[in-house]
Copies of this chain bind each other. A is one copy, B any other.
Amino acid sequence: MSPDRLSTTFAALADPTRRAILARLALGEAPVTALAQPFAMSLPAVSKHLKVLERAGLIARGRDAQWRPCRLHAEPLKDAAEWLEHYRGFWEDSFDRLEDHLRGLQRTRKRRGRKQR
């Protein structure tokens, strides 16, 4: 996968409306009108978001000119998830350190509690 493809995927995900559209499509295919409904947004505004998602290969649209339903196309998300996976060790490490720190604080408090009794 070229770096540009991954950039296009991440850029498409960098918007709450587009992520909400993908979440809706995870429930099943839908026409543009149904996708526009939950957002206080015009059809052209929603269409713009759909174009970004389509260019990123995250949705596919039916050919029926009247009812072009949108379908989720999740493959590009796989590469994004794989890229992120390389960093799992780092965020798990820092959460471990936070946990150790909080346990340390708890022990200090217990010791202080005993002294005050």
| A 67-83 to B, binary, CB cutoff 8 A, 1 in contact else 0 | 00000111101101101
CA of A3 to CA of B91, assembled, Å = 20
Q: A13 touches which one: B4, B10, B94 (CB < 8 A)? A: B10
What is the distance, in angstroms, from A36's C-beta to the closest C-beta of chain B?
A: 18
Asked whether any CB of chain B lies closer than 8 Å to the CB of A86, the reply is yes
Once the chains bind, are B91 and A87 in contact (CB under 8 Å)?
no
What is the distance, in angstroms, from A78's C-beta to the closest C-beta of chain B?
A: 4
Interface stretch of the complex, out of A15-23, A41-49, A99-107, A108-116:
A15-23
Once the chains bind, are A26 and B81 in contact (CB under 8 Å)?
no
Once the chains bind, are B80 and A84 in contact (CB under 8 Å)?
yes
Asked whether any CB of chain B lies closer than 8 Å to the CB of A11, the reply is yes
Q: Interface residues, chain A, CB within 8 Å of chain B?
A: 3-4, 6-8, 10-11, 13-16, 19, 22-23, 26, 72-75, 77-78, 80-81, 83-88, 90-91, 94-95
Q: Which 5 A-B pairs have the closest CB atoms?
A: A74-B90, A3-B16, A11-B14, A10-B14, A78-B91
